[in-house]
Amino acid sequence: MSRWQVVVAIRLKAEILDPAGQAVGHVLQQMGFDTIAQVRLGRLVDLEVEAEDREQAVAVAAEAARRLLANPVLEVFAVTEAREVGGHR
- Which parts of this chain interact with its own copies (CB under 8 A)? 1, 3, 9-11, 21, 24, 27-28, 31, 33, 35-51, 60-61, 63-64, 67-69
User: Closest CB to its own copies among 50 and 73?
Assistant: 50
At its nearest, how many Å lie between its own copies and the CB of residue 23? 11
Specify whether the backbone of 52 is left (phi greater than 0), alpha (psi in -120 to 50) or beta: alpha
| Cβ 7 vs Cβ 65: under 8 Å | no
At its nearest, how many Å lie between its own copies and the CB of residue 79? 13
Distance CA 63, CA 70 (A): 10
